[in-house]
Amino acid sequence: MLHLTTLKIEKYEKIGQAKYRLYLSNGEVIDTFDEIILKNDLLLKKELDNYLYNQVITESKIQEYYNACIKYITIRIRSTKEIRDYLKKKNVENEDIDYIVEKLSKEKFLDDNHFCECFIKDKLKFTTMGEHKIIFELKKHNISVDIIENNRYLMSEDILKEKIDKIITKQISTNRKLDKSKLRNKLYNHLLNAGYSSNLIVDRLNIHF
């Protein structure tokens, strides 16, 4: 940071939603946000000493990263790990990452339980993933065992059976010339790799073969 005495704020200019540009007496320009202006009473003080200058610069950068996270989350729901990784790629300090994550959590933009619920529903609806693979993917997001267990009911046996049946039916339809025993083995391995339990796979295969 620069070593300053006191700088006057010569002009305020609105440059976006809740975003302002401050023109300082030394010719420098600072982009900041309305909440930072209000928090630091800049409308009343209209000047920055060395400490306040550094504080406004730091808080403005953090707010910029915070806003970027919200945009990132609006594309699709994110896990806490994804946000931390996103900020690390931007070379944000660990202390600032902790602050941003805590703020996002308090304001309900981040919620790993909600993420877990949405993740499971999405994978059940739009992929062929079974229970074990879904759980494996959730753990890669650092979702806790407790949160996963609390949402495990979403992967009911009836839903998993229905998914397996659809896969089996489709494969039987497209592999009519394949020997039944070979097709059964092929399906068993395919479903096992997709994350379904061996017992449930055998149960459904016995019905179709």
Q: Which residues pair with 21 in a beta bridge?
A: 13, 31
User: Do residues 26 and 9 lie in contact, with contact meaning Cβ atoms separated by under 8 Å?
Assistant: no
User: Do residues 57 and 64 lie in contact, with contact meaning Cβ atoms separated by under 8 Å?
Assistant: no
pLDDT exceeds 60 at position 158:
yes
pLDDT digits (tens, 9 = 90+) for 162-197: 999 999 999 999 888 888 899 999 999 999 999 999
Rounded (to 5) percent helix, strand, coil in the chain: 65, 10, 25
- The predicted model scores a pTM of 0.86
User: Do residues 83 and 69 lie in contact, with contact meaning Cβ atoms separated by under 8 Å?
Assistant: yes
How distant, in Å, are the alpha carbons of 15, 22, 61 from that of 58? Answer: 19, 15, 5
CA 175 to chain centroid = 39
pLDDT digits (tens, 9 = 90+) for 89-122: 999 999 999 999 999 999 999 999 999 999 999 9
